[in-house]
Structure 1
């Protein structure tokens, strides 16, 4: 399993860190410049983390990490990826920038591996309807998280057992 965080590395209490601590074989893609989202840098970091991986891998992405997975998959194909759990992706109707580069357009084609997009009805960075549209474009199964905010520690998410259930579904498909 490879965990792909959002714009920042997750806090120690975050559900992605909780997942990482549950199994030492799980790895986190760390950012050289947390807080900034430069798409090319993030896609390159994911590609480097997957380089040489021989076993089928499940990607577990949160927020901007979902964008990284979609952009990587559009250029790399399935690679060693068995599936992806995409949790609360952000809406990027307007270009995201770090002051120097714009985010490339997100692919609207289906991802080349099975995926689950988990969306909240109270996410402040993407409406549920937009998330459902993104799931449809990517060919992802949509999971309704109900009132979960952006699934951050501020929203009350440290341990998140549903993640293990969703990952298990991707691991057995």
Structure 2
């Protein structure tokens, strides 16, 4: 049985400088992303496209969504497998190619650094990244590669083997 979930959001443009889109340089790219419940996200376009560098841009949000989805899937897989994670930081990077007719992401690389409570858990912790990647709804929805390059470390030890 298929269950369907919906995610309503509202994007409100706030960049009208008084003359609307009368010219390419005459309007701001600022906008807000809102949904019922969470606080608003102040967003803009990438600074390369006349955006505000102090606001989130759609490309960053996509990379962030992939990273969050992987982390949440991973933590679930670890909990079920008895792998105790006490720290998780992902330094994710997305790469986009700009072309004459627009652009597209060429890849996203997730680089989670995971801390587990015991060296005996390191191999299982590394292997669960593959399961988490397969379970990530967002990674399975994009048309570009999402690579995962984890580092696993046990509390009080140096880096343990990674996959």
Query: Which TM-score applies when normalising by structure 1?
Result: 0.24
Query: Which TM-score applies when normalising by structure 2?
Result: 0.25
Ranked by relative contact order (alpha carbons within 8 Å, sequence separation 6 or more), the top structure is 1
- Name the structure with the higher helix share: 1
- Name the structure with the higher strand share: 2
- Rg comparison, structure with higher value: 2
